[in-house]
Structures are given as structure tokens and as C-alpha cells.
Amino acid sequence: MVTKKTMPSTPSVQLDNLPGHLMRRMHQISVGIFMSEMESLGLTPIQFAALQATKLQPGIDQKTLAKMIALDTSTTGGVIDRLETRGLMERHAAELDRRVRLLYLTRAGETTLADVIPRMLKVQSKILSPLSPAEQKTFMTLLNQLVNENNEFSRAPSQPTP
């Protein structure tokens, strides 16, 4: 005679009570807002980060850029390839080690970034607009705390440059 084994009862979990689920949803929303604002420029959030980091540190090497924007080096290479193809960024071999590629914005990259910054600020405001100014400040403080204190668990932990 075959008897049915009773399966242990699994607890019911509401997705809206899971911070990971909500963060993934918020990421989708923030990318959606970004893409709608940047549609005419055809720029992704990661491409923006690469341009902005390179603007802040002209001559940054690809490996350091990857750490700064929390990407793995192969993904960063693809991002730079696309920006270079569009004429927004260029690579130059380092004088001391020809294998190291140093990154610079082109004139077109500088112009694009200048066009992007006001739109980027608008995107950030739109993302935070449901919160009051005090809530926005608290949210950003807590979000930075979560990111900084959990950085080691990232597949590509960021390493801010000095």
C-alpha cells in the first residue's frame, strides 16, 4: 500500500515584506525613469556612471573604474567599448605599462555628460519625489548605510578612490 508523505508546511511569505524584492523593484523603477529621461541620448545608467567617474578622474585605468562603479572588469570593458564606439570615451595605453588602458572623455563625451547632468538630477528628484525632504534625507542616509555595510557581499564590491 502506498502512503502519502505529508510535506512540511512552508511559511507564507509576502513579497512586499522582503527588502530584497522591494529593492529589485525600486531598481527597475529607477532604471525606467532614467531610460525615459535619457531616451533621446541613448545612455544607460551604467554608461552614465562610467562617463561621470572618468570625468572626475581623467586617465583612470579600466580596473580602477570597474571598482569605483562596482562592476566586474569584463562588463566594464563592454561598457567602455560601447562608449568608445559612440565617440564619447577613448583609451590610451599607459606609458609605463602598455597593457594598462587609461580612459579619457572625448569632446563629444564632455558635451554629452554636460547634457546628461541636468536630466540625471531630474531623474533623482523624480525617484525621491514621493518622500518629503526630511524623508529623502533619512532614506539616503539609510540607503548609503545599507550599501556601505553590505558592500563586501556584492559580486563586484565598490572601492571608492581616495
Whether residue 6 is contained in a domain is answered as no
Instruction: Give the pLDDT confidence of 115-135 residue by residue, as tens digits.
Output: 999 999 999 999 999 999 999
What CATH number does residue 71 fall under? Answer: 1.10.10.10
**Is residue 70 assigned to a domain?**
yes
Q: Assess contact for 79 and 71: CB atoms under 8 A.
A: yes
Residue 125 within a domain: yes
| pLDDT-derived band at 162, boundaries 50, 70, 90 | low
Is the pLDDT assigned to residue 157 strictly greater than 90? no
The domain in which residue 82 lies consists of 26-129
Output the nine-digit C-alpha cell for 39: 531616451
Q: Which of 93, 138, 86, 135 is nearest to 113 (CA)?
A: 86
User: 52 lies in a domain?
Assistant: yes
Is 83 within a domain? yes
Number of domains comprising the chain: 1
Task: List Cβ neighbours of 31 (8 Å cut-off, separation of 6 or more).
Answer: 45
Q: What are phi and psi of 20, to 5 degrees?
A: -60, -40
| Predicted confidence band of residue 67 (pLDDT cuts 50, 70, 90) | very high
- The pTM score is 0.85
Residue 75 belongs to a domain: yes
Q: What percent of the chain has pLDDT over 70?
A: 94
Q: Is residue 14 part of a domain?
A: no
What pLDDT, on the 0 to 100 scale, is given for residue 97? 82
